[in-house]
Amino acid sequence: MREQCPHCNRYLVNPNGPANSDILIIGEFPGLDEIEVGLPFVGKTGDVLRYELAVAGITIERTRLTNLWRHQQTSNDSPCFNFGMSEMLRELSTPRKGVLFLGSEIPPLFGLPPVTSISGLVFDSVPLMNYPYMCVFLPNPAIVFHSTVGEIRHGLSIFSKALKGS
């Protein structure tokens, strides 16, 4: 039986992958395929992410995957959002080599400019985190359905190189 949100009883999309992985990938919210299956990045966006990570030399099965929103998105002032934030911060309490944030809504939560301004930049630390992680912020991989793959591929290349340098 799948776990349900303690605030609204919607089914949760729980983190997946090794809990102690060196790499944590955090998306914004699960898509319909993810909600149906109960795992992050299993739909078309996950296919894009899996492929582009492989191009960058990163095996998705060795990463920890999660989302800020643990179920279908509602409003950012809901208890469900706060629950998702606390769960994300808990994932960030494990020491890791790097964290890849995917989506436009995440940088402002850390007091950072929009993802369009910081995409592909390497941060040595980000406010609210317990550890000085190497972090990279990129748009959601679903952007390739509306644009080119270049920004995602370039950003993942930067992330991969920064991981090897840490």
Pair of tokens at residue 126: 């980000």
* Helix (DSSP H) and strand (DSSP E) numbers for the chain: 6, 5
Phi, psi (degrees; rounded to nearest 5) at 97: -75, -40
For residues 154 and 6, give the distance between their C-alpha atoms in angstroms, rounded to a whole number: 38
Pair of tokens at residue 114: 């929009």
Q: 65-123 pLDDT, tens per residue? A: 999 989 987 776 789 888 888 898 899 888 899 999 999 888 998 889 999 899 989 99
pLDDT at 73: 79
Q: In the predicted model, is pLDDT for residue 33 greater than 70?
A: yes
Domain boundaries, the chain: 23-165
pLDDT at 166: 59
CATH 3.40.470.10 fits 23-165, yes or no: yes
| Collapsed DSSP state (helix, strand, coil) of residue 101 | strand
Q: 126-156 pLDDT, tens per residue? A: 777 767 789 999 998 887 777 667 778 888 9
